[in-house]
Amino acid sequence: MKKKLKFVIPIVLVLFGGVYKTVLAKPPKAPKPKIAGTVYVMPKEFLLNMADGRYAKLDVSLVLDKSEVLPTAEGGSTNENYGALEQEPAVRDVITDTVTDAPSKDLIDRSGREALKKEILKEIRQHTDVKVDEILFTDVAVQ
């Protein structure tokens, strides 16, 4: 009898553990996405004069809030210089004004770029209806 219990008890415990894991335990939470919104790549690059006389070529993307809906390809912008974002000209204006007021070292230096992104984000929220969560500089060249 004792020998049977030595084998039965571990088997029962393993079975109980399996049942608990598959039936009673809470399912694991899905990991939070690193980028929660839609990344919108602005289709036209920026070629800008900086405050200190240097030039910058800049590609910018926007991380749009989940609630921001881009029109479909048929309902997109009629201007070939802009993409599907309805207020893209106003967003481009904000980016141009903000970057051209900055010295070129702000684009070269990482902390300067982060400060520029924050300033652009603040200005976009203040002057447009576009719901942007984050600004991304996908390509930067200063000459």
Quote the mean pLDDT of the chain. Answer: 86
Residue 22: inside a domain: no
Q: Supply the pLDDT for residue 63.
A: 95
Residue 20: inside a domain: no
Residue 109: inside a domain: yes
Residue 124: inside a domain: yes
Domain count, the chain: 1
Q: Which amino acid is at 132?
A: V
Confidence band of 84 (pLDDT split at 50, 70, 90): confident
Assign residue 97 the CATH number of its domain: 3.30.479.30
Question: Domain of 125?
Answer: 38-142
Q: What is the mean pLDDT of residues 109-131?
A: 96
In angstroms, the CA 124 to CA 61 distance is: 13
Burial of 40 (0-12, 13-18, 19+ CB in 10 A): buried
pLDDT at residue 134 greater than cutoff 80:
yes
Q: What is the mean pLDDT of residues 113-128?
A: 96
Predicted model pTM: 0.72
**For the segment 23-60, what is each residue's pLDDT rounded down to a tens digit?**
776 777 888 888 888 899 999 999 999 989 999 999 99
Q: Supply the pLDDT for residue 74.
A: 52
Burial of 9 (0-12, 13-18, 19+ CB in 10 A): exposed
Residue 98: inside a domain: yes
The string over 61-100, giving b where at least 16 C-beta atoms fall within 10 Å of a residue's C-beta and e elsewhere, is ebbbeeebeeeeeeeeeeeeebbebbebeebbebbeebbe
Residue pair 87/128 in contact by the 8 Å Cβ criterion: yes
